[in-house]
């Protein structure tokens, strides 16, 4: 339970840091948010808990493929906002499009037997 709480605390601190930094500089906030800190922490915790490098390798490869559909959000959201769409509508549409892209990627990976 303690390890779980540490994971939650680190994640919360990272999110808060990104938010605070982004208020001052969108570029620095984006830099911090784009770092694969979550993945690195997941690799370390998975290895520490299992000692299984194959599980870490599989997680790393799967993350690579699933980063690609996440880019839909980062492409579509600014386009909608800059075209005058409401923030919440833009976020909802971008999130829905990203969810569809994730679904398509998972189906493609299964069909190609990559994951």
Global pTM reads 0.78
Are 63 and 39 in contact, with CB atoms under 8 Å apart?
A: yes
Mean pLDDT of 86-95: 99
Cβ burial of 53 (10 Å; 0-12, 13-18, 19+) is: exposed
What is 36-90 written as a DSSP string? THHHHHHHHHHHHHH--HHHHHHHHHHHHHHHHHHHHHHHHHHHHHHTT--HHHH
Alpha-carbon gap, residue 45 to 41, rounded angstroms: 6
3-class SS of residue 112: coil
Mean pLDDT of 3-22: 89
Identify the helix (H) or strand (E) that includes residue 108.
helix 87-111
114 falls in which pLDDT band (50, 70, 90)?
confident
pLDDT of 21-71, one tens digit each?
999 999 999 988 888 988 998 999 999 999 999 999 999 999 999 999 999
Are 73 and 98 in contact, with CB atoms under 8 Å apart?
A: yes
């Amino acid at each position: 339970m303690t390890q779980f709480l540490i994971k939650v605390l680190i994640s919360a601190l990272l999110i808060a840091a990104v938010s605070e930094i982004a208020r001052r500089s969108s570029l620095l906030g984006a830099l911090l948010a784009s770092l694969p800190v979550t993945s690195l922490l997941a690799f370390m915790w998975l290895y520490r808990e299992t000692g299984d490098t194959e599980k870490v390798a599989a997680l790393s490869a799967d993350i690579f493929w699933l980063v690609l559909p996440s880019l839909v959000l980062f492409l579509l959201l600014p386009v909608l906002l800059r075209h005058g769409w409401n923030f919440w509508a833009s976020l909802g549409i971008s999130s829905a499009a990203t969810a569809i892209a994730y679904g398509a990627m998972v189906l493609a990976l299964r069909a190609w037997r990559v994951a």
